[in-house]
Chains A and B, each alone.
Chain A
Amino acid sequence: MSTTFEPPRVEERPNYLNVDYGWKSWLFTTDHKRIALLYLFSITAFFVIGGSFAVGMRLNLLRPEGLFEADTYNKLFTMHGIIMVFFFLVPSIPAVLGNFLIPIMIGARDLAFPRINLLSWYIYVVGGIFAVLAAFEGGVDTGWTFYAPFSTTYSNTHVILTAMGVFVAGFSSILTGLNFIVTIHKMRAPGMTWGRLPLFVWSHYATAIIQVLGTPVIAITLVLLALERLLHAGIFDPNVGGDPILFQHLFWFYSHPAVYIMILPGMGVISELIPCFSRKVIFGYNFIAFSSVAIAVIGFLVWGHHLFVAGQSMYASTVFSLLSFLVAVPSAIKVFNWTATMYRGSISYETPMLYAFGFIGLFTIGGLTGLVLATMALDVHLTDTYFVIAHFHYVMVGGMVMAYLGGIHFWFPKISGRMYPEGWAKFAALVVFVGFNLTFFPQFLLGYLGMPRRYHAYAPEFQILNVMSSAGASILGVGYLLPMIYLAWAWRKGPKAPQNPWGAKGLEWEQSPTPPPTYNFETPPVVTEPAYNYAEEAHVG
């Protein structure tokens, strides 16, 4: 991916890529599209780092006795979680695709605060440097959950440096969310009413609300953690009068809504892909739009389902269990509406649609296994086992990363002005799907059999399933490397993209040139039709 900073060479008309070439034009840009690309490259770098930790983990788990020292393995899974959650999943779709597309989709020249947008990238990079520095200095071994009092008193690794990284990166998330909220409220083009917003924008709006309201809580929690670790303030450590369960409440008050920060934008992508490749208006627009908001709101009230076995009051657990079932309803509504959109459509199987199929399948499995965990008596047996690992990887990797890849392929022509090789892309999508299932499905079985998570060594009867999982991971790894290679190639050598290769509706395809000029539109856009009006032919140019 190192060569992709250079724009394509020959372009007839000025666009955001060929308007200027120097490194300053990138590092001091306030163009949301260029900032999106800065994010794309830094997020890909973190994905590679986080992924390489996972390679280490899967290698270690090939043998029951493990391959590495226990401490090494503990650091691997900790840093895998921290890098992937805070530096890949949380920013991925919003900061790359959201940043690039939201202004264009609503017909604006840029985000409301372009300089703050650039600032948020710098903050993200500084946070990332802290986290990577901690890894190079010897790593951290608390698990991405930083549970007290292990993290405050017992761990002798780089807890504070890592927590600083997460703390700093949080501000980037808040600023991006704030920028999106203001932009969506204030900068819509004439005719772009709330009821005509693409669902991608709706889902980002819901995401932004969580980012702005939730992220400060994790920031405060990490500051308290540092205070406890440095000064023994007596907040979380029972030896100095604190309460370790309080940490879990504070941590999950952000970190459960955070999983909706990670998945909602993915749902937004799918809501764009399915109508386009079915050539049909989305089924139940209002229900999909409001289910995003419902997820954002109810998502704030379910954190206690992480504490069913932690000694939380059983009555509190009962309420959290009920709310956890409730939050599944809006997700189910989305899946049903996407499926119904395909009914009597005109369906084609280009790569982005393959990812959308994959998303529906894997997200359905991820979501339904969430019901298993919301059922308290089952959670008692399954929490802290591989069942939980499998569940959230089905949602986060099977759902979110599938949507991210689908979105990257769908908008690649828009972003780069080039087409990627369709054959390779379809092949890679298949490899990702097969590799993913082989990696994570065995982990459901391991979980019910009772294998706890975060074990560097395990009982011999768990080996077969672990070897299957590691084999799947190697296939999945190839599936992720392939797009990095052919997309990098396509960026320089791919055939030039037509204005609207998919015949898609939406301002970004119909009224903004491909690739867009710096201010997105040659003439100020006016919206005259609802979203996904596929009954009408898409305008070209």
Chain B
Amino acid sequence: MGTLSLFPPRASTTAGDVDALYTFVISVSVIMTVLIFACVFIFAIRYRRRSEAERPKPIHGSILLEIAWSAIPFAIMLVMFAWGTRLYYENYTPPANTLDLYVTGKQWMWKVQYPGGQREINELHVPTGRAVKLTMASEDVIHSFYIPAFRVKHDVVPGQYETLWFQPTTPGRYHIFCAEYCGTGHASMGGWVTVMDPAAYETWLSGGASTGSMQQQGETLFQQYGCATCHALDKKGRGPSLRNVFGHAVSLEDGRTVTADEAYVRESIVNPNTKIVAGYKRDVMPVFQGQISEESLLQLIVYIKSLSNPAAKGSPQ
């Protein structure tokens, strides 16, 4: 790395778009800066004081100029705004059919779980040519998952799930950084993302020692924590059945309706009394806040997800 580059490697579908926008905004800025510097320089030299007696004629202002140099820059800024906003929405809205991976941040490491049950710490392997969606949780403080080569970043906030998606394009190894200050080991809370050809990726996946897929691990936890005793799958128990819940609308006792997504399921495990399904009683289910690790919660969610989506059962990868 002897030479100075202005851009980090471009390894995702969006990296080039972000760089193009950056080049536009910087070019406009450079033009503006040169314009102002040139005026200051030229005026400072051309109108330098030649005699102490000089009394230049006053110029009080010009409404026309004021309007021009307010409106024109603002119009250019609106282009930046529109372009930046469109790209922001694209980069923060995952497409359908993503490869779903699960990331947990804790002081000071990133733990990654694959649907097939493989796990890594501070390493992430992804294939080219496929949109990857990370569902991210934090065990403790706020972290921020940042891959400069992909030009993406998202804070990982404790108590909620954040998602981040990208589509890698170029095989290689790129930095993962934690971008939100998180204490002593903040600077060492990083690692590498390895982008591989799909074939190499399949080989890599099959080589990972696995203790069962995330879904199987979740099912085991579902039994271990005794969830199954009340949440019977095909009959009414003390708690609602969880078959075909994920992704569907749920009516609550207070009359509201919510869609069962990852955040809802997580909340219903850690703080079950926050939202009670219509027809069921409060304070029946124990509160699991602080009892289950974020990683296990993600496994449970993958399992509960699978209950609504039998098609996915066959091939978790």
Query: Which residues from chain A sit less than 8 Å from chain B, CB to CB?
Result: 66, 70-71, 74, 141, 143, 147, 149-150, 153-155, 238-239, 241, 243-245, 278-281, 283-287, 308-311, 314, 317-318, 321-322, 325-326, 328-329, 332-333, 335-337, 339-340, 342-349, 357, 360-361, 364-365, 368-369, 371-372, 374-381, 383-385, 445, 448-450, 452-461, 464-465, 533-535, 537
**Min C-beta distance of A421 to chain B, whole Å:** 21
Specify the chain B residue showing the minimal Cβ separation from A442.
B4
B208 at the A interface (CB under 8 A): no
B83 at the A interface (CB under 8 A): yes
Scan B38-76; emit 1 where CB is below 8 A from any A CB, else 0: 011001100111100011111111100110011001100
B80 at the A interface (CB under 8 A): yes
**Interchain CB contact (< 8 A) of A317 among B70, B88, B148, B290:** B88
B280 at the A interface (CB under 8 A): no
The answer to whether residues A364 and B33 also contact, given A150-B182, A343-B43, A380-B153 and a CB cut-off of 8 A, is yes
Q: Within 8 Å CB of B88, what residues of A?
A: 308, 314, 317, 376-377, 380
| Besides the known contacts A149-B158, A465-B4, 16 further A-B residue pairs in the complex with CB atoms under 8 A apart | A70-B185, A147-B181, A278-B47, A281-B60, A310-B155, A339-B36, A340-B61, A342-B44, A344-B47, A344-B57, A361-B37, A364-B33, A371-B28, A374-B81, A377-B17, A457-B187
B40 touches A321 (CB 8 A): no
B77 at the A interface (CB under 8 A): yes
B84 touches A321 (CB 8 A): yes
Report the separation of the CA atoms of residues A66 and B184 in the bound assembly, to the nearest whole angstrom: 13
Scan B199-237; emit 1 where CB is below 8 A from any A CB, else 0: 000000000000000000000000000000000000000
Interface band, chain B: 35 or more
B144 touches A357 (CB 8 A): no
Binds A, one of B111-119, B172-180, B306-314: B172-180
B152 touches A380 (CB 8 A): yes
Report the separation of the CA atoms of residues A374 and B79 in the bound assembly, to the nearest whole angstrom: 12
B125 at the A interface (CB under 8 A): no
> Main secondary structure on chain A at its contact with chain B?
helix
Specify the chain A residue showing the minimal Cβ separation from B60.
A281
A375 touches B1 (CB 8 A): no
The answer to whether residues A311 and B155 also contact, given A281-B59, A365-B33 and a CB cut-off of 8 A, is yes
* 30 examples of A-B residue contacts, CB within 8 angstroms: A70-B184, A74-B186, A147-B142, A150-B181, A239-B290, A241-B271, A244-B159, A280-B56, A280-B59, A281-B59, A283-B59, A285-B61, A311-B160, A317-B88, A325-B77, A326-B74, A340-B61, A340-B65, A343-B39, A344-B59, A347-B44, A357-B44, A372-B29, A375-B80, A375-B81, A376-B85, A377-B87, A381-B148, A450-B148, A459-B175
Binds A, one of B18-26, B97-105, B244-252: B18-26
Scan B4-24; emit 1 where CB is below 8 A from any A CB, else 0: 111110000000011001100
B77 touches A344 (CB 8 A): no
The answer to whether residues A535 and B57 also contact, given A339-B36, A384-B146 and a CB cut-off of 8 A, is yes
The answer to whether residues A347 and B158 also contact, given A332-B70, A368-B33 and a CB cut-off of 8 A, is no
B107 touches A448 (CB 8 A): no
A314 touches B22 (CB 8 A): no
Q: Within 8 Å CB of B77, what residues of A?
A: 325, 328-329, 371
Q: Within 8 Å CB of B276, what residues of A?
A: none
Q: Within 8 Å CB of B80, what residues of A?
A: 325, 371, 374-375
**Min C-beta distance of A160 to chain B, whole Å:** 17
**Interchain CB contact (< 8 A) of B84 among A349, A364, A378:** A378
**Interchain CB contact (< 8 A) of B55 among A346, A384, A449, A461:** A346
B21 touches A375 (CB 8 A): yes
**Min C-beta distance of B89 to chain A, whole Å:** 6
B89 touches A371 (CB 8 A): no
**Min C-beta distance of B25 to chain A, whole Å:** 5
Scan B111-147; emit 1 where CB is below 8 A from any A CB, else 0: 0000000000000000000000000000011101010
Highest count of chain A CB atoms <10 Å: which of B78, B88, B178, B188: B88
Specify the chain A residue showing the minimal Cβ separation from B68.
A336
**Interchain CB contact (< 8 A) of B48 among A66, A347, A377:** A347
B81 touches A325 (CB 8 A): yes
B162 at the A interface (CB under 8 A): yes
Q: Within 8 Å CB of A345, what residues of B?
A: 43, 47, 56
**Min C-beta distance of A338 to chain B, whole Å:** 9
Specify the chain B residue showing the minimal Cβ separation from A384.
B179
Report the separation of the CA atoms of residues A347 and B148 in the bound assembly, to the nearest whole angstrom: 47
**Min C-beta distance of B95 to chain A, whole Å:** 16
Highest count of chain B CB atoms <10 Å: which of A278, A311, A458, A464: A311
**Min C-beta distance of A321 to chain B, whole Å:** 6
